[in-house]
Chains A and B, each alone.
Chain A
Amino acid sequence: MLTVLGIVIGVAAVIAMLAVSEGASFESQQQFRDLGATSILLKSVKPAEVEESSNRGFGPPQAVIYGLTQADILTIRNTIPGVSNVIASRIVKKNVWNLGLSMNTDVVGTSVDYPSSRNYNLRAGRFFSETEVRDHANVVVLSDEVANELFPIDNPIGQTIKIDSDYYNIVGIMESEGFSNLGQNQAGSSNSAPSRIFIPFTASRSRFGETTTRQTAGGMESETVELHEAIIQVDNQETVIQVGEIIEQILQRRHRDVDYAIEIPLALLRQAEASALRDQIVAGAIAGISLLVGGIGIMNIMLASVTERTREIGIRRALGAKKKDIIAQFLIEAVILSGVGGLIGVVLGIIIPFIISTFWGMTTIVTPIAPILAFSISAMIGVIFGIYPSMRAADMDPVEALRHE
């Protein structure tokens, strides 16, 4: 079976590589779907050097100030043409209570456009209104996960939850998000299922202030962050990447440290597509070489078989086999040989992506077309590399072949 090893590797490589690149493009498309083609995501990121300098000080911990500010957002909104909307959010980690039940969750202070900016829909009730934002109203919208946790039996809408010492009226519940994880849990540590609640941006500022304190391994740590993230919506898909570059320049000028991050889903998608193409070229080259080697292996074994069976060819010719009968016989043998290799390759090619997803957590998708394509290629290899040995067999002189020992 060593003969068909090349075919096995080639076919397995084709399927596995296609599965990996298909998975990668699926992931980037997922992000793309969540945020849309016309969005830019800004995040506050704690710069490394700030963290160090704060630890060196004496006395009570000083609040670390970093991240995006309202002024940044204002500048972006007012100076860049083509920016249609900016949805800024503050994310504070809090314990949220419903009577005896509590859970630690991200409290997202945001504006009314938050759901539409992320294709994120309500399951029940409504999102808070402009008026409520203006009034710093104590209203809250729960994520599906939080609603299920704090209100396992009754309908939460119309009821209240308690954060710190304040009560908030529940006006709506978002639908479950699944495992989409872009831009969530900014202030939190764990990054599993999204557990979030949403309150008006104004309420977040006036209730929680701008400084948050959290427990870390080194002791208490305070940080002051005006905004944790912002979604900038651009009115035209064509200009998204340019707007992103302008934003980058503005932020560079306004910030001493790089305490922000910019993500452009469209650019990520383009990048993913480019790297998928590169992957596919590399995969194609590997598969091509393996299949070529495999084909030559097949040709070798077939030539040996033809020589070994010269006598048989002579007998068959004497008994009425035409040249094309002999060609057919040896071609079928070559195709069976490469087909067996192809089948083993298909099995491996389906197992390998499964192993990759299990052990490296990469998304892999084996589309039905990949094994079919790879198997057809292996059968074709059998035909192509079987032709020459078969012709040699058919072109033998029957008299000579019969005399062969």
Chain B
Amino acid sequence: MTIIETNSELGTASSPGLASGSRVASLQDIQKTYYMGSLSVEVLHGINLDFYSGDYISIMGPSGCGKSTLMNILGCLDQPTAGKYFLGDEDTSEMEDDELSTIRGARLGFIFQSYNLIQQLDVLENIEMPLFYQGYSEKESHEIAMGLAARVGLQDRVDHKPFELSGGQQQRVAIARALAVDPLVILADEPTGNLDSKSGLEILNLFDELHSQGKTLILVTHSDELAERSKREIKLMDGRVESDERLHA
């Protein structure tokens, strides 16, 4: 595969990263091909992107542009067919399944469109889950989870089950869960897609707050309204980066 648009050399990427932050993630000539029998479909054609700490990034694009695939690779849920993906300073492209699990749990926070809380566990237990897999003690994870529940304004509902909460509340639990391990990057996939406008606005305000506190956010969305709130907007088209610009400079 030839590299068409951008220079793949480390540190000289053309993306308008924040000069202040250190690099937290780097995609280098990422390609992804799906094989279905004898058919192969190349979804990503060599993506080069660097992300810097404290940034608020949105990834936009129409359906089928490779957004979800890119998101899965960023989330270490899927491996690229070719290219390198550095998370922090670790190369994840050659990692075994167990190592990927560990890096997901330790370095990433996930926020999904459909919240993805575990229904039989209460709010506190849901927030504690990533900590459990990182081997935190019960006491420690309890303290962290209580603090995060308070931070998203759910300190009075810690013993509620997800189905007892509104959509906005559930998404706030998911945000608290994503913050639990203090991840390098928070990945949010259409976080307001299932919410009414009022609850959606609350979530977006919470994101602004997280950004102001120095968290690194990557938002995948096709809503312009959401993208406008971010500081850096990346547009994908047919498996390539179409545009990459800094907003509100």
B130 within 8 A of A: yes
Chain B residues contacting A311 (CB-CB under 8 Å) are 116
27 contacts between A and B (CB under 8 A): A312-B118, A316-B118, A316-B129, A317-B101, A318-B75, A318-B77, A318-B104, A318-B110, A318-B116, A319-B104, A319-B105, A319-B129, A319-B130, A320-B104, A320-B105, A320-B106, A320-B181, A321-B101, A322-B97, A322-B98, A322-B101, A322-B133, A323-B97, A325-B133, A399-B77, A402-B112, A402-B116
Evaluate contact between A398 and B77: CB separation under 8 angstroms: yes
B117 surroundings in chain A (CB, below 8 A): 315
CB distance from A329 to the nearest CB of B (A): 11
CA distance A324 to B98 in the complex (A): 9
When distances are taken between beta carbons in the complex, the residues of chain B under 8 Å from A322 are 97-98, 101-102, 133
CB distance from B228 to the nearest CB of A (A): 28
Chain A residues with Cβ below 8 Å from B77 are 317-318, 398-399, 402
Chain A neighbourhood of B6, CB < 8 A: none
A interface, by DSSP: helix, strand, loop or mixed?
A: helix
Which residues of chain B are near A319, meaning CB under 8 Å?
104-105, 110, 129-130, 133, 177
User: Is B238 located at the chain interface by the 8 A CB criterion?
Assistant: no
**How far apart are B32's CB and chain A's nearest CB, in angstroms?**
12
Residues from chain B with a CB closer than 8 A to the CB of A320 are 101-102, 104-106, 130, 133-134, 181
Contacts of B106 in A (CB 8 A): 320
Most B Cβ at <10 Å: residue of A316, A318, A322: A318
Docked pose: A314 CA to B118 CA in angstroms = 11
Which residues on A sit within 8 Å (CB–CB) of B112?
Answer: 402
Chain B 85-104: CB-based contact to A (< 8 A → 1; otherwise 0): 00000000000011001101
Would A315 and B97 be within 8 Å (CB), given that A320-B102, A402-B112 are in contact?
no
Interface string of A339-367 (1 = CB under 8 A from B): 00000000000000000000000000000
By a CB distance below 8 angstroms, the chain A residues around B119 are: 312
| Nearest Cβ on chain A to B48's Cβ, whole angstroms | 23
- Min distance, Cβ A217 to any Cβ of chain B, angstroms: 74
**Interchain CB contact under 8 A, A321 and B105:** yes
| Cβ contacts under 8 Å, A317 to chain B | 77, 101, 104
**Minimum C-beta distance from A199 to chain B (A):** 81
If A318-B116, A319-B133 are given as contacts, then 11 extra A-B residue pairs at C-beta distance below 8 Å, sorted by A number, are A312-B119, A316-B118, A318-B75, A318-B110, A319-B177, A320-B102, A321-B101, A323-B97, A323-B98, A325-B101, A402-B112
B129 contacts across to A, CB distance below 8 A: 316, 319
Q: For the complex, give the distance between the alpha carbons of A324 and B133 in Å.
A: 11
Q: Which of A228-246 contact B (CB under 8 A)?
A: none
Asked if B72 CB lies within 8 Å of chain A CBs, one says: yes
Say yes or no: is B208 at the interface (Cβ < 8 Å to chain A): no
In chain A between 293 and 329, which residues have their CB closer than 8 angstroms to a CB of chain B?
311-312, 314-325
| Binary per-residue interface labels of chain B (172-201) against chain A in the complex, 1 for a CB within 8 Å, 0 otherwise | 000001000100000000000000000000
- Which residues from chain B contact A324 at a C-beta distance below 8 Å? 98
Nearest A residue (CB) for B106: A320
Once the chains bind, are B118 and A315 in contact (CB under 8 Å)? yes
Contact string, B146-180, partner A, CB cutoff 8 A, digits 1/0? 00000000000000000000000000000001000
Given contacts A320-B134, A325-B133, contact A399 B101 (CB under 8 A): no
- Interface hits, A141-187 → B, CB 8 Å: none
- Within the complex, the shortest CB–CB distance from B70 to chain A, in Å, comes to 12
Closest Cβ of chain A: how far from B166's Cβ, in Å? 20
Q: Which of B127-146 contact A (CB under 8 A)?
A: 129-130, 133-134
Of all A-B residue pairs in the complex, the 7 with the closest CB atoms, nearest first, are A320-B105, A320-B133, A322-B101, A319-B130, A398-B77, A315-B116, A322-B98
**CB of B151, distance to nearest CB on chain A (Å):** 18
Interface string of B51-93 (1 = CB under 8 A from A): 0000000000000000000001001011000000000000000
Query: Across the interface, which residues of A come within 8 angstroms of B102, CB to CB?
Result: 320, 322
> Min CB distance, A206 to chain B, in Å?
91
Which residue of B101, B117, B129, B130 has the most chain A CB atoms within 10 A of its CB atom? Answer: B101
Cα A315 to Cα B129 in complex, Å, equals 10
Interchain CB contact (< 8 A) of A399 among B78, B97, B105, B118: B78
Q: Which chain B residues lie closer than 8 Å to A321 at the CB level?
A: 101, 105, 133
Chain B residues positioned under 8 Å from A402 (CB to CB): 77, 112, 116
User: How many Å from the CB of A394 to the closest CB on chain B?
Assistant: 9
Complex Cα–Cα for A322 and B105 (A) = 9
CB contacts (< 8 Å) of A323 on chain B: these are 97-98, 101
Residue of B77, B118, B134 with most partner-chain A CB within 10 A: B77
Once bound together, how far apart are the Cα atoms of A399 and B104, in whole Å? 13
B177 CB contacts on chain A under 8 angstroms: 319
Nearest A residue to B78 via CB reads A399
A315 to B75, CA, bound (A): 12
A398–B104 Cα distance when bound, in Å, is 11
Identity of the chain A residue whose Cβ is nearest the Cβ of B177 in the assembled complex: A319
Q: Which of B104, B106, B134 has most chain A Cβ within 10 Å? A: B104
Q: Point out the residues of chain B lying under 8 angstroms from A314, CB to CB.
A: 116
Given the complex of chains A and B, what is the CA–CA distance between A318 and B33 in angstroms?
22
Q: Which residues of chain A are near B104, meaning CB under 8 Å?
A: 317-320
- Assembly CA distance A323 to B98 (angstroms): 7
User: In the complex, A315→B134 CA distance in Å?
Assistant: 15
- What is the chain A residue whose CB lies nearest that of B118? A312
Question: A318 to chain B: which residues have CB within 8 Å?
Answer: 75, 77, 104, 110, 116
Residue numbers in A under 8 Å from B133 (CB-CB): 316, 319-322, 325
